[in-house]
A and B are shown apart, each in its own frame.
Chain A
């Protein structure tokens, strides 16, 4: 007795946890082994055929390459940029709140808005390139979106503008969690500041780095809105992503194929969760021995 209202109160949570997340993912995985078009009629199991088709479809193979390139670029820039911003913000500067407000506001804006405004900024005729050329640098060229080989770079610039501030905020919190005594000790030992950051402070704030990294990875895997707003996947297929492949296949009534792609998208997330479990398990072992 007594617990019944708690169970009733959390019924929506149980429905979401089991009914949507567990069963939904199971449903996706099962459908990836079928030839389902859109409605669940006349379907049959086809084994791994959808996966064979998936990995022999140029657009998917390219999409996977794109997400790696985009992901590494975006995450590296956010972490390095966010860390530099955090370090500079941590120098007892004046107007810290103003700077924080400026670095963070892009995150309040949606990926659609980010994509649209950067599409204009990077437009060869209207954007930044034209501005610099009008200053007299006639050979200046920075219009990555116009060319399939560089379009992803433009997308990285835009998404980093949107996300670097959040990384900064998380890393700044980590930085301020580091004991002040460390700095005194390092100074007495005559260790240069940059060396203290790299060898002592960063390892000490690995929790914040891990949090920032996990958030970045999760957001990269689901990249969709910014592609639609900024490039529509083009030029050609040069900015297509796994997420757009899944949605396009559902829209074109080729659900089985879309579900195979969706299942593959689960893999990096599964890996992330396994890594997390591993670290928790190791921490619990440590806890027992000490």
Chain B
């Protein structure tokens, strides 16, 4: 969690010697590693642009001779999941719906938690925080049935509000930790001055803390957008048939293949599903690194 500001620190390893064999070795190792990390992405993209005939004839690393986006279109709009053949598109829009609501809800709730835990400690607040952080370590599967039970009682199992509640619950530990660490690092004079001026809990939150927490809120948004978009198990269990997110739809499309597996469509569907978090990653750069350092525990 202390990684948050680490990427500004200068390299501190042993001083490099000039251009030596060791130096070449370092780059050789890093480039080999980079190839290992890049190959699957290359395979995903290349395969999605080849026809099945071409895949049969060549190898997975070969460039497509007649690049085509037909399979992207098929994956998006007409690939089959079971009996329906609407492609990934419905899943995409479901994921958008879920993400657009669940991200702000979970962030606002956790921001208030972090703020209260930093400046308005009350009896038992630290205990609550401890229990919450403990929750970050609990395997989801342990809580799946109790939450199915609870949401059914509320009539929310298998609904959009249901899946949003689930994302807010499981996003809360790590986000609260993130915001609490941020607010605790602010000078307490800031809070005291606002108190002296007579501002109360909500007034200080909205007028002082909220505007100051924009940078950390961006980290939280990145964390939540990628986390919720990539979620599979919650969508599978809690979203209900009408709201299945894109990852679940993707898996269904791949599982539905009859006869020979149509890898072109499968890889096109895979790259389309991965596009959102990849774009978030490449656009946000170092912000993302901060986010995963805080949120890697989300798995």
Contact residues of A with B, CB < 8 Å?
2-3, 5-7, 9-10, 12-14, 16-25, 27-28, 31, 40, 84-85, 87-93, 96-97, 99-114, 116-118, 120-121, 126-128, 130-131, 134, 161, 165-166, 169-170, 172-173, 175-178, 180, 183, 187, 193, 196, 207, 211, 214-215, 218-219, 221-222, 224-225, 228-229, 232, 242-243, 246-247, 250, 255, 258-259, 262-263, 265-266, 269, 272-273
Contacts and interface: CB of A to CB of B under 8 A. Distances in A.
Contacts of B40: 106, 114, 117-118, 121, 161
24 contacts: A9-B112, A10-B117, A13-B113, A13-B129, A17-B135, A24-B143, A25-B143, A28-B142, A28-B146, A88-B30, A89-B30, A104-B281, A106-B40, A108-B280, A110-B229, A111-B232, A113-B247, A117-B41, A126-B60, A130-B59, A130-B60, A161-B36, A165-B37, A272-B137
Nearest to B136: A218
A138 to B, nearest CB: 14
A177 B6 CA distance: 8
Given A9-B116, A110-B232, A25 B33 contact: no
Contact of B145 (A10, A28, A126): A28
B277 interface: yes
Identify the 9 closest CB pairs spanning chains A and B, nearest first: A110-B230, A6-B120, A5-B201, A173-B6, A90-B13, A24-B146, A108-B281, A219-B299, A21-B135
A33 B141 CA distance: 17
Interface residues of B, number: 101
Contact of B16 (A24, A91, A176, A218): A91
B229 to A, nearest CB: 8
B218 to A, nearest CB: 16
B247 A13 contact: no
Interface string B127-156: 011011011111111111111111000000
Contacts of A193: 14
A167 B36 CA distance: 16
Contacts of A16: 132, 135, 169, 172
A106 B282 CA distance: 12
B285 A127 contact: no
B196 to A, nearest CB: 13
A31 B145 contact: yes
B288 interface: yes
B64 interface: no
Contacts of B226: 108
B149 A27 contact: yes
A85 B147 CA distance: 40
Contacts of B267: 116-117, 120
A90 B55 CA distance: 40
Interface of B: 1-3, 6-7, 9-16, 26-27, 29-30, 33-34, 36-41, 43-44, 47, 55, 59-61, 109, 112-113, 115-117, 120, 122, 125, 128-129, 131-132, 134-150, 168-169, 172, 176, 200-202, 205, 226, 229-233, 237, 247, 250-251, 254-255, 263, 266-267, 270, 273-274, 277-278, 280-282, 285, 288-289, 292-293, 296-297, 299
Contacts of A187: 14
Contact of A218 (B137, B237, B288): B137
Contacts of A87: 13
Contact of A101 (B12, B255, B282): B282
A273 B231 CA distance: 25
B149 A169 contact: no
A176 B15 CA distance: 13
Contact of B43 (A117, A211, A259): A117
Contacts of A106: 37, 40
Contact of A173 (B3, B41, B247): B3
Contacts of A173: 2-3, 6-7, 9, 293
